[in-house]
């Protein structure tokens, strides 16, 4: 039995202009038609027809920087990281429902304590848990005293880093992530301006990943860490919060994409106190918020390929709105959150656009996102693998947010 979505405006992630009136048809977990309404196949007697006149159909969103076990959490990073792994797994299950509610049908989980997301992925794939498709690194690899080493596989020296990458691949990691610089969540030893792995150490992890057919990424803020990672062969950069113009141009020349995670800073600055973040972190983030947006502008101006991901605190629509405010058009933001993200994950042949043969992963909106990206704040329907989800049912099942 096929399902026909009729009377819609289609923003397919491929074309730069919407198509209306359009029809989208999917059967089981695959799209079979997406195009002009007048050319659409006629429904069979037992097909399901959903009249969505006036609605907008887009590819399901992809969150390219997710942390399922700590997202939408309160308190400091250290307090959240200290929770038992069993509790974090339950939080991750809650956040699977939250992701669907946001219109997210695929997540790229960038690391958690004990590799929680690997088990969440197994539960989703087995049908034990409703949720998006999960691509997970398991745990990041960090040096002793490195960024977030409370939840990482700690490895020092090229041989140890190589061994850590092999362990993660053996555990089923979809990709390998290394902490190539400090960050903002720990005072004293974790400085965002400092590089935290040598080229040789990073190369050891990336070689193992690429030999095993896995992609790679790094947490990296300053230019020196970004350049080291690119020299070592990385496939993507997370954050790039301290990037300068020459390094942005370098990334564009080398064709290395960036997932900027702007809204994490914005949420900490605007809602950090209510979320229980440390006062020093809130104050420091507020002081550097304008600079963060300015540096994002360097990436836009240089033409760096940009993905879209939330990190821990924000919602996808908040990240998308900030990317627009930082210089991208609404259509560019939508494509970043769909087609570009699919390419970053290495699954552009399966998802990220609304085309025949691709996964039936869709989001339906009542308002035009090209007029206002806040349209993603309230989705009308979500389709993942051909299964239709009603927002009200997801909201009722997922519990409190934030918590």
Q: 83 near 37, Cβ under 8 Å? A: no
- Alpha helices by DSSP H, listed for 187-329, are 199-211, 223-232, 245-254, 262-271, 279-302, 316-325
pLDDT class of 402 with cuts at 50, 70, 90: confident
Q: Which residues of 87-97 are buried (b: 16+ CB within 10 A; e: fewer)?
A: ebbebbbbbbb
Per-residue pLDDT, averaged over 301-311, amounts to: 99
Tens of pLDDT along 4-49? 999 999 999 999 999 999 999 999 999 999 999 999 999 999 999 9
> What gap in Å lies between CA 377 and CA 373, rounded to an integer?
8
Confidence of residue 187 (pLDDT cuts 50, 70, 90): confident
Which residues, other chains included, contact 361 with Cβ-Cβ below 8 Å and sequence gap of 6+?
59, 60, 105, 106, 133, 351, 383, 384, 385
Strands (E), 72-188: 104-109, 133-136, 141-142, 153-154, 175-179
This prediction's pTM: 0.98
CB 123 within 8 A of CB 90: no
Given this model, what pLDDT does residue 313 score?
A: 87
What is the average per-residue pLDDT within 300-328?
Answer: 98
Tokens of 103: 């219109």
Per-residue pLDDT of 247-301, as tens digits, reads 999 999 999 999 999 999 999 999 999 999 999 999 999 999 999 999 999 999 9
**Mean pLDDT confidence for 180-185:** 95
β-pairing verdict for 237-239 and 258-259: parallel
Quote the tokens at residue 205: 């992890």
> What pLDDT band is residue 62 in, cutting at 50, 70 and 90?
very high
> Is the distance from CB of 169 to CB of 202 less than 8 angstroms?
no
Q: Which pLDDT band holds residue 70 (cuts at 50, 70, 90)?
A: very high
User: CA-CA distances (angstroms) from residue 148 to 98, 192, 194, 232, 350?
Assistant: 24, 12, 14, 21, 33
Using CA atoms, how far apart are residues 257 and 309, in angstroms rounded to an integer?
A: 12
Tokens 């005293």 locate to: 145
**Domains of the chain (ranges, CATH numbers):** 2-59+353-397 (2.30.40.10), 61-345 (3.20.20.140)
Span 326-365, pLDDT tens digits = 999 999 999 999 999 999 999 999 999 999 999 999 999 9
Which pLDDT tens digit goes with each residue over 194-250?
999 999 999 999 999 999 999 999 999 999 999 999 999 999 999 999 999 999 999
Which pLDDT belongs to residue 185?
Answer: 86
Average pLDDT, the chain: 98
């Amino acid at each position: 039995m096929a399902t026909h979505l009729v009377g819609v405006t289609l923003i397919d992630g491929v074309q730069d202009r919407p198509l209306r009136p359009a029809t989208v048809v999917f059967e089981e977990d695959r799209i079979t038609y997406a195009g002009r309404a007048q050319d659409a196949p006629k429904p069979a007697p037992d097909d399901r027809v959903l009249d969505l006149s006036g609605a907008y159909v887009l590819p399901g969103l992809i969150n390219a920087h997710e942390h399922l076990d700590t997202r939408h959490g309160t308190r400091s990073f250290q307090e959240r990281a200290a929770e038992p792994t069993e509790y974090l797994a339950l939080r991750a299950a809650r956040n699977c429902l939250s992701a669907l509610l946001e219109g997210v049908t695929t997540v790229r989980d960038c690391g958690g304590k004990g590799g929680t997301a690997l088990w969440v992925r197994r539960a989703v794939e087995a049908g034990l848990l409703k949720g998006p498709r999960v691509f997970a690194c398991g745990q990041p690899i960090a040096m002793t005293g490195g960024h977030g080493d409370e939840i990482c596989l700690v490895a020092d020296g090229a041989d140890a880093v190589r061994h850590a990458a092999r362990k993660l691949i053996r555990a089923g990691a979809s990709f390998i992530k290394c902490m190539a610089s400090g960050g903002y969540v720990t005072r004293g030893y974790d400085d965002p301006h400092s590089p935290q792995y040598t080229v040789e150490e990073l190369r050891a992890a990336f070689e193992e990943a690429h030999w095993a057919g896995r992609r790679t990424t790094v947490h990296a803020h300053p230019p020196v860490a970004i350049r080291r990672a690119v020299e070592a062969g990385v496939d993507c950069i997370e954050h790039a919060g301290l990037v300068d113009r020459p390094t942005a141009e370098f990334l564009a020349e080398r064709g290395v994409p960036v997932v900027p995670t702007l809204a994490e800073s914005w949420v900490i600055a605007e809602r950090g106190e209510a979320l229980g973040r440390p006062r020093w972190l809130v104050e420091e983030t507020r002081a550097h918020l304008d600079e963060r947006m300015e540096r994002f502008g360097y990436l836009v101006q240089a033409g760096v390929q940009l993905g879209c991901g939330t990190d821990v605190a924000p919602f996808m629509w908040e990240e998308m709105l900030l990317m627009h405010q930082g210089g991208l058009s609404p259509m560019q933001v939508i494509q970043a959150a769909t087609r570009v993200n699919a390419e970053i994950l290495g699954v552009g042949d399966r998802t990220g656009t609304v085309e025949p043969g691709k996964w039936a992963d869709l989001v339906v909106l009542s308002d035009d996102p090209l007029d206002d990206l806040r349209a993603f704040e309230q989705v009308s329907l979500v389709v993942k693998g051909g299964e239709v989800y009603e927002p009200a049912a997801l909201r009722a099942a997922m519990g409190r947010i934030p918590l």
